[in-house]
Amino acid sequence: MTEEQVKQRLRQLSMEIRAADQQYYEDDAPVLTDASYDALRKELVALETDYPHLVRADSPSRSVGAKPSGKFGKITHKVPMLSLDNAFTDQDVEDFTARIKRFLNLPEDTVLEFSAEPKIDGLSAALRYEAGILVSGATRGDGQVGEDVTANLRTLQTVPKKLAGTGWPDVLEIRGEVYIDHADFDAMNDAQIAAGKEAYKNPRNAAAGSLRQIDPSVTAERPLKFFAYTWGDISAPLSDTQIGAVEAMERWGFSVNNLMRVHKSATSMIGHYHDIESARSGLGYDIDGVVYKVNDLSLQERLGFVSRAPRWAIAHKFPAEKAITKINAIEIQVGRTGAQTPVARLEPITVGGVVVSNATLHNEDEILRLGVKPDDVVEIQRAGDVIPQVLRVVEDSKGKPFVFPRVCESCGAETVRETDAKTGRVDVVRRCTNGMNCPAQAVESLIHFVSRRAFDIDGMGEKQIAAFYERKLVKGPADIFTLEARNDEIKLESWEGWGETSARNLFAAINARREVDFDKFLYSLGIRHIGQGNANLLAKHYLAFENFYESIQSIEDELSGAWLELMAIDGVGAGAAGAVRDFFKSPANQELVNNLLEQIIVINAEAPSSDSVVSGKTVVFTGKLEKFSRDEAKARAQSLGAKVSGSVSAKTDYLVAGPGAGSKLKKATALGVKVLTEDEWLELID
Catalytic residues: 119
φ, ψ (nearest 5 deg) of residue 384? 175, -150
Map 83-129 to HEC letters: CCCEECCHHHHHHHHHHHHHHCCCCCCCCCCEEEEEEECCEEEEEEE
Angle at 445 between CA 383 and CA 518, to 5 degrees: 95
Residue 404 near residue 369, CB atoms below 8 Å: no
φ, ψ (nearest 5 deg) of residue 86? -115, 145
**Rounded Cα–Cα distance for residues 315 and 87 (Å):** 6
Map 571-596 to HEC letters: CCCHHHHHHHHHHHHCHHHHHHHHHH
> Distances in Å between the alpha carbon of 341 and those of 41, 541, 582?
17, 35, 24
**Rounded Cα–Cα distance for residues 333 and 589 (Å):** 25
Q: What is the DSSP letter of 346?
A: E
**Rounded Cα–Cα distance for residues 586 and 592 (Å):** 10
Q: Is 612 helix (H, G, I), strand (E, B) or coil?
A: coil
> Distances in Å between the alpha carbon of 22 and those of 16, 93, 447, 563, 577?
10, 29, 16, 37, 29
Residue 453 near residue 62, CB atoms below 8 Å: no
Q: Which one, of 259, 233, 87, lies nearest residue 169 by Cα? A: 233
Helices (H), 338-461: 364-370, 439-450
Q: What is the DSSP letter of 681?
A: H
Report the C-alpha dihedral over residues 140, 153, 280, 111, rounded to 10 degrees. Answer: 60
Q: Which one, of 431, 446, 330, 447, lies nearest residue 387 by Cα? A: 330
**Rounded Cα–Cα distance for residues 159 and 582 (Å):** 51
Q: Is 636 helix (H, G, I), strand (E, B) or coil?
A: helix
Residues ≥6 apart with Cβ < 8 Å to 242: 115, 293, 294, 295, 296, 297, 300
CA-atom Rg of the chain in angstroms:
26
**Rounded Cα–Cα distance for residues 554 and 9 (Å):** 34
Taking each helix axis from N to C end, the angle separating 574-585 and 587-597, rounded to the nearest 10 degrees, works out to 80
Q: Which one, of 324, 308, 402, 331, lies nearest residue 86 by Cα? A: 308
Q: How many CB atoms lie within 10 A of CB 221?
A: 12
**Rounded Cα–Cα distance for residues 149 and 132 (Å):** 19
